[in-house]
Amino acid sequence: MKAVGVFALIISFSVAAESKIYTRCKLAKIFAKAGLDNYGGFNLGNWLCMAYYESRYNTTAETILKDGSIDYGIFQINSFTWCRNAKKRQKNHCHVACSALITDDLTDAILCAKKIVKETQGMNYWQGWKKNCENKDMSEWKRGCEVS
């Protein structure tokens, strides 16, 4: 009986740890519904392009940086400034746990990304966007996705 309980616990951890990788069109619909199209002057294509180059649309993406901070989730939001994990020196400007940025529910990640765009230099925060999306035609990113 004890083995069954341990097995169930292992299964629950593995289910919780599974990553969700969105398709471009599914993400376009989520982003449009969340009001990202033209938010901060950036069209939906910019948001899709940025999320692709930051995380490949992977909700559980985590990147450990040289300074010891971690970039979390679909937008790769940094733990030092924007969210809170176990370390005390974080600023947590988004008032959110970093773990909330790596779930399939993108609400907290989107709210934090909006705050970053509003309080910094737009999308210049994201190097993936600067390198791959800035000043490029973004119309391809939402093509075929049935979003206006």
Active-site choice (18, 62, 67, 71): 71
Catalytic: 104?
A: no
Query: Per the residue annotation, which of 54, 104, 134, 137 is the catalytic one?
Result: 54
Q: Which two tokens stand for residue 138?
A: 């973004």
- CA pair distance 102, 137, nearest whole angstrom: 29
The residue to which tokens 């740890």 are assigned: 17
Element housing 70 (H / E): strand 70-72
41 burial level (CB within 10 Å; 0-12, 13-18, 19+): exposed
Our answer to whether residue 71 is catalytic in this structure is yes
Residues 6 or more apart whose CB falls under 8 angstroms from that of 49 comprise 129, 132, 133, 136, 138, 141
- Cβ count near 146 (within 10 Å): 9
Yes or no: say if 50 and 33 are a contact pair by the CB < 8 Å rule: no
Q: Which residues are tagged catalytic? A: 54, 71
